[in-house]
């Protein structure tokens, strides 16, 4: 691998060549294909656990087993394709959150990111009195300094241990957002404003535990200059989703990728997701149908998300995101970050990382 201008990212004994985490993207957008390509390019490749069992034949009858089996398969496949760093993104809202975390740890995932909720507690099956003995690094995703404080305080008290890193995801991200709708466009909640507060909060715990805890910035990072900007504010790395969707190696269908390329700024909208959070997505015929009041027919065999009010929601999110992943955008929709409209061509993951590295270098010397 050619030497990079971007600095390395260190998390305890884990050294990462390029300080870029590819954000976990369910349903089926970041699996072994994308994650292994990112890991091979020196970053951290993330498999999203959300809806991962939707592609197994027994998804409707044995959903927990299907999820675990599919996650195990994807981790093993990714690891067979790279010697780089592979992790898993698991949303707190999953009704089988604990099982999925244990599956990731047992399969030897290097990192586990926990989002869409406050992970104040870890699964009881972990060695909670000696978390340092676990090889997997645990990384909560937060949207405020307050959330970071609650999680760090809880882990410090319960486990005498703090997270290995933390991702701050701002309101320009794609997918579910940890903000109230009215905060999303409020200038007081932009990533650059939130970041110093999180860095300061984490520093208090770093000092107490004599442990370096990198803060990773996410949401709207598009260029190497954006990476430089957040690093100047105290971030040690970035998490990026949208740009990795439109790569040859991404696990999305060609139609999903093309929808990004064809999108315009006004197509990126905020929806009320059945998960109970706002989400950013690409508008299309499916979402237009839903916003006109039409309810999709579906049966919910298992309630995959704890927070889903499945008797009243107008559609099944797992099903509609599965349709989109497969390329059926008439019966599903694509989550996307606020900058998706700026993507204009398919590139390889290696080309993207090289471009970001060159831009970062330019920003450093200007
Ligand atoms: C298609 C798509 C699916 C996503 N799915 C998840 C997910 O399953 N879990 C999660 O924590 N974040 C999810 N995200 C958020 C990303 O991991 C990432 O943090 C975010 O998109 C970063 O902002 P960016 O897209 O502007 O780079 C998703 C984002 C996109 C675009």
**Rounded CA separation 282/174 (Å):** 9
Task: Evaluate if residue 10 carries a pLDDT over 80.
Answer: yes
**Rounded CA separation 238/62 (Å):** 36
pLDDT of 168-213, one tens digit each? Answer: 999 999 999 999 999 999 999 999 999 999 999 999 999 999 999 9
Backbone torsions φ then ψ of 117, nearest 5 degrees: 140, 170
What pLDDT is attached to residue 300?
82
* Mean predicted confidence (pLDDT) in 322-346: 97
Tokens linked to 261: 């390329």
pLDDT of 108-148, one tens digit each? Answer: 999 999 998 899 999 999 999 999 999 999 999 999 999 99
Say if residues 94 and 305 touch (Cβ distance below 8 Å): yes
DSSP at 326: H
State the pTM of this model: 0.97
Transcribe 154-198 into DSSP letters: HHHHHHS---S-EEEE-TT-SEE-SS-GGGTT-GGGSHHHHHHHH
Task: Evaluate if residue 8 carries a pLDDT over 70.
Answer: yes
Tokens linked to 182: 């009215």
* Mean predicted confidence (pLDDT) in 316-341: 96
**24 Cβ contact list (under 8 Å, min separation 6):** 30, 46, 47, 48, 49, 50, 87, 88, 89, 90, 113, 115
- Ligand 1 centre to CA of 40 (Å) is 20
Task: Evaluate if residue 301 carries a pLDDT over 80.
Answer: no
Among 23, 237, 270, say which to mutate for ligand 1: greatest number of ligand atoms within 8 Å of CB: 23
Say if residues 70 and 99 touch (Cβ distance below 8 Å): no
Peptide bond preceding 27 in cis form (omega within 30 of 0): yes
- Ligand 1 centre to CA of 241 (Å) is 5
β-strands 278-282, 268-272: how paired?
antiparallel
Collapse the DSSP code of 209 into the 3-class scheme (helix H, G, I; strand E, B; otherwise coil) and give the result: helix
- Ligand 1 centre to CA of 87 (Å) is 14
Ligand 1 binding pocket (C-beta < 6 A) is: 23-26, 29, 48, 50, 89, 91, 115-116, 141, 169, 172-175, 218-221, 239-242, 245, 335-337, 339
Share of the chain above pLDDT 90, in %: 88
Q: Considering only 22-31, 221-230, 260-269, 309-318, which range has the smallest mean pLDDT?
A: 309-318
Q: Which atom of ligand 1 is nearest to the CA of 169?
A: 19
Among 174, 179, 339, say which to mutate for ligand 1: greatest number of ligand atoms within 8 Å of CB: 174
Q: Whose CA is nearest to atom 4 of ligand 1?
A: 25
Tokens linked to 204: 């208090």
Task: Evaluate if residue 315 carries a pLDDT over 80.
Answer: yes
Q: Whose CA is nearest to atom 5 of ligand 1?
A: 25
CA distances from 269 to 138, 240, 261, 320, 351 (A): 31, 19, 16, 17, 29
Q: Whose CA is nearest to atom 17 of ligand 1?
A: 23
- Ligand 1 centre to CA of 157 (Å) is 30
Mean pLDDT, the chain, whole residue set: 96
């Amino acid at each position: 691998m050619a030497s990079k201008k971007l600095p390395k990212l260190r998390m305890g004994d884990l050294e990462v060549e390029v300080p870029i985490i590819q954000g976990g993207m369910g349903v089926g957008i970041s699996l072994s294909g994308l994650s292994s390509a990112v890991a091979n390019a020196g970053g951290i490749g993330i498999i999203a656990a959300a809806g991962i069992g939707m592609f197994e034949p027994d998804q409707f009858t044995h959903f927990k087993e299907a999820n675990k089996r599919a996650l195990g398969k994807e981790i093993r496949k990714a690891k067979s394709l790279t010697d780089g760093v592979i992790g898993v993104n698991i949303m707190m809202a999953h009704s089988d959150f604990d099982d999925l975390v244990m599956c990731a740890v047992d399969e030897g995932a290097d990192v586990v990111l926990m989002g869409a909720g406050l992970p104040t507690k870890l699964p009881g099956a972990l060695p909670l009195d000696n978390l340092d003995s676990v090889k997997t690094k645990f990384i909560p995703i937060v949207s405020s300094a307050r959330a970071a404080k609650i999680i760090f305080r809880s882990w410090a008290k319960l486990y005498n241990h703090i997270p290995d890193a933390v991702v701050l995801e701002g309101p320009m991200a794609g997918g579910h957002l940890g903000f109230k709708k009215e905060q999303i466009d409020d200038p007081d909640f932009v990533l650059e404003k939130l970041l110093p507060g999180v860095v300061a909060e984490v520093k208090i715990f770093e000092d107490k535990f004599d442990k370096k805890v990198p803060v990773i910035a996410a949401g709207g990072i598009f260029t190497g200059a954006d990476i430089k900007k957040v690093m100047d504010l105290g971030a040690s790395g970035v998490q990026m989703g949208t740009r990795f969707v439109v790569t040859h190696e991404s696990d999305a269908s060609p139609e999903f990728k093309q929808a990004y390329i064809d999108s315009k700024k006004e197509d990126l909208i905020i929806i009320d997701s059945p998960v109970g959070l706002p989400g950013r997505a690409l508008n299309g015929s499916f979402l237009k149908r839903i916003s006109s009041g039409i309810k999709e027919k579906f049966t919910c065999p298992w309630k995959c998300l704890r927070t889903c009010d499945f008797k009243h929601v107008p559609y099944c999110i797992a099903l509609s995101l599965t349709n989109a992943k497969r390329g059926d955008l008439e019966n599903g929709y694509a989550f996307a970050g606020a900058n998706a409209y700026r993507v204009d061509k398919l590139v390889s993951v290696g080309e993207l990382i090289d471009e970001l590295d060159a831009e970062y270098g330019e920003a450093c010397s200007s």
